[in-house]
Amino acid sequence: MSVFASSRRADPARLGLVVGLVACWVIAAGSVASASTRLAERAVGGARLPLGDARMIFPLPPGNYPEGIAVGRHGVIYLANRRDDGEHFVSEILAIARDGSVSTLAVLDRLERDDDPGDDGVLGLATDRRGNVYAALVRPGGDAHGVWKIARDGSRRTHLPGSEGMTFPNSLTFDRRGNLYVTDSFGGAIWRFPAAGRGGHHPTRRPGAPWVQHELLAPALDDPFGFPLPGANGIAFVPPHRLYVANTEKGLVAHIPINLADGSAGEPTLVAADPGLATVDGLAADVHGGLHAVIPGHAALGTSPLVGIDPVTGAVTSSLDPGEWDEYDTPLSLTFGRSRHRTTIFATNGDLPGIPPDARLPGVVGVNVGAP
C-alpha cells in the first residue's frame, strides 16, 4: 500500500515522474473538516453511489497522508493516516462511522518533527471477523515496527509476535480460516500469522514467520524508475485457497496457492504483467474472483487509476471512464464497502508534494464497480 522512494537516490532528470509517483515521506499539517463529515455521511450511510461515477467522499485537508483502508463491522471505514501536528509526525488510525462522524481509533507512533520521517509510518489495514483492526507500521529499529492488532473500540492493542522481524510490513489480508498474510515489500516475501487459538477471552495470535519468498515478490534489481519502489505490495485472498499479490516495481500481479492440507505456500506464478499495471499498489477481489487494483502513478504514466484484472487471462482493463480519472491523485489502497455499498470500491487518495495545494486531493474516493 505504500509507493515508496528515497529522494536521495532519485535522478533529478526524473523529478517530474518522482513527483507524480511518490509522497510517502512528505506529511503536512491538517485536521478533519466538517465538510468531510457531511460528505462521508452521505457516502458511507446514505444511498448507493451511481455505477461508474467516481466521487471524493471524504476529503482531508492538504497535509494529511492517508494510505491503508479497511471496512469493519457496521460499515465503519478505517483509514491509516500520517499527519504533521507541528511537533511530530503522527501515525494514526481514523474511524469514519456510518453517520459521517470521525474519531481517532488509535495513535500508533510519533516521530519527532525535526527528524526525517523517511519511509516510517502506518501503512496497510485489515479487519477480522470480530471487528478488530490490524495495521502494518514501518519503523525500523523502533519498538512500534511490525504489525498491530487494535480492538474495534480502541481499548486494547497488541504487537503481533514475530512481526518485528519484518523488513517492510505493508499490506494485509485474511484467509477464511483466520490466518493473516502480510507482504514484506523489500524482503520479497509474504509473512503468515497463524489464526489465534480459541481459548480465553483474548486469544493471542501465534508468532508469524516468512511464508513464501520468491522473485515474483521481490523488487527489481535495477530500480527501473531510478529510485526504489516496493516489490510485494497489495494482497487479496480469493476463496477457497488463492492469494494474489501486486508487485509495484515490476508492474505485475502474482498468484500463490495455499495448500489446504497444511497451509503451506504453493509455487508463485505470474497472473498479469501489463503497461497498465506499472506502479500497481493496492489490490482487492470481488465475489466472482475478479481482481481490482489502484495505480498511484497513473497521472504521470497516462493510465487509469483503477483497473480490473482477469486472473484467468491476465487482461487488464480500466474500471473508469477517462473523465473520472481526475478524481484520483495518488490512489494507494482500496477496499469494498458493505451493505448497500458492497459494490463500491473505496480508495485512499494520497497527498502529493511539490504541486499547488488546490491540486492535492488527500482523502477517500468511492466508485461503484457493480460487483460486490
d(CA 347, CA 294): 8
Strand partners, 330: 350
For 81, the grid coordinates are: 493516516
Q: Is the per-residue pLDDT at 26 higher than 80?
A: no
Q: Is the per-residue pLDDT at 170 higher than 90?
A: yes
Q: How many domains does the chain have?
A: 1
Q: Which domain holds residue 308?
A: 7-368
Confidence category of residue 83, pLDDT binned at 50, 70, 90: confident
- For the domain that residue 206 is a member of, what is the CATH number? 2.120.10.30
The pLDDT tens digits for 298-320 are 988 999 999 999 999 999 999 99
The pLDDT tens digits for 27-53 are 333 344 445 555 566 566 666 778 888
Confidence category of residue 14, pLDDT binned at 50, 70, 90: very low
Confidence category of residue 117, pLDDT binned at 50, 70, 90: low
Q: Average pLDDT for residues 112-131, to the nearest whole number?
A: 81
Q: Which residues of 193-213 are buried (b: 16+ CB within 10 A; e: fewer)?
A: bbbbeeeeeeeebbebebbbb
Q: Is the per-residue pLDDT at 290 higher than 50?
A: yes
- Looking at residue 227, what is its pLDDT? 83
Worst-scoring range by mean pLDDT, 60-74, 252-266, 285-299? Answer: 60-74
Residue 154 within any structural domain of the chain:
yes
Strand partners, 247: 232, 252
Residue 35 within any structural domain of the chain:
yes
- Looking at residue 31, what is its pLDDT? 42
d(CA 262, CA 283): 26
Residue 309 within any structural domain of the chain:
yes
Residue 1 within any structural domain of the chain:
no
Mean pLDDT (the chain) is 84
Pairing of strands 157-159, 252-257: unpaired
Half-sphere exposure of 80 (CA within 13 A, CB side): 34
The pLDDT tens digits for 201-253 are 455 678 999 999 999 999 999 888 888 899 999 999 999 999 999 999 999 99
The pLDDT tens digits for 339-364 are 888 999 999 998 754 445 555 578 99
Residue 343 within any structural domain of the chain:
yes
Strand partners, 77: 71, 96
Residue 190 within any structural domain of the chain:
yes
Residue 2 within any structural domain of the chain:
no
